[in-house]
Structure 1
Amino acid sequence: MKIFLDSCVWFAAIISPVGGSAALINKIIVLSEKTDIWIIISNEVIAETLKNLKQKSQPEKLLDFIKLYYKSPIIIYEGTNECVSRWVKHIHPEDALIACSAVEAKCNYFATLDKKHFFKKETFELAKSMKIIFPGDLLHELRKIK
């Protein structure tokens, strides 16, 4: 299973280590020890997460992100310009790049807290078989896996 985590999920996990986003990442880490489950991210997600942590939190939160990143079963994948050109008609260019990384990596899920940009008809249609989902809802689904 491949799960793409948007930068807002990483940010929320670091800012609130007992919240739903952190619980989701920790559940994926636990499941990765006994099943084929991966977190997919792009360089854009890493850069955006670091930028937001620098601007909106304490310096030690950067180290918390790096520690969590290295504990996680991660594959970095970048979307193509061809895909981005289709998506950019419907969402912000940076979001298009992130979405394409998830789609082209053939992710099963795209976890995000960004309701404004990702939870709309056009993005669901472009996402094809990938399910766009809130972290808490995905955590609920993953808890069914033993």
Structure 2
Amino acid sequence: MFTHIDPKGNPTMVDVGDKAVTRRVARARSIVVLNDDIMQHLQGQDIQTKKGPVFQTAIIAGTMAAKRTSDLIPLCHPLGLDSCKLTITTDGNEVIIECTTALEAKTGVEMEALVGASVAALTVYDMCKAFSHNIVIKETRLLDKTGGKNDFHQTT
């Protein structure tokens, strides 16, 4: 049964009125692969561009996006996040972005974590494309979520 479809087959927002308020946490990851032409600009823990520091800007963009998820994804409930934390690390030519969102509510925050990680990845792309367009956003996925009817933990 699809929860976003009413009995007549029309899209609908899920009614969460009868659900219990619980602590809900979700963590998502996006991986961006940059080529050597871009990675040579890595200084310390960030890539410097004329537009500014790439990772710092991506963290701000991801946070802003997570807060606006219901404006972007139809039928998502507007949520006032208690917390949104993005971390960005590198492993070789991969930029690993993790977004963790949390709140006390009747509905989960996995879409907010996924949107935050996705927009941070797109921001890395946007800020680095002047160096090279040879950039791949190869993966965005939910790693784990807790606090709802079904917890989820990625095993691979």
TM-score (norm: length of structure 2): 0.24
- Bigger relative contact order, structure 1 or 2 (CA pairs below 8 A, ≥6 apart): 2
The structure that is strand-richer by fraction is 2
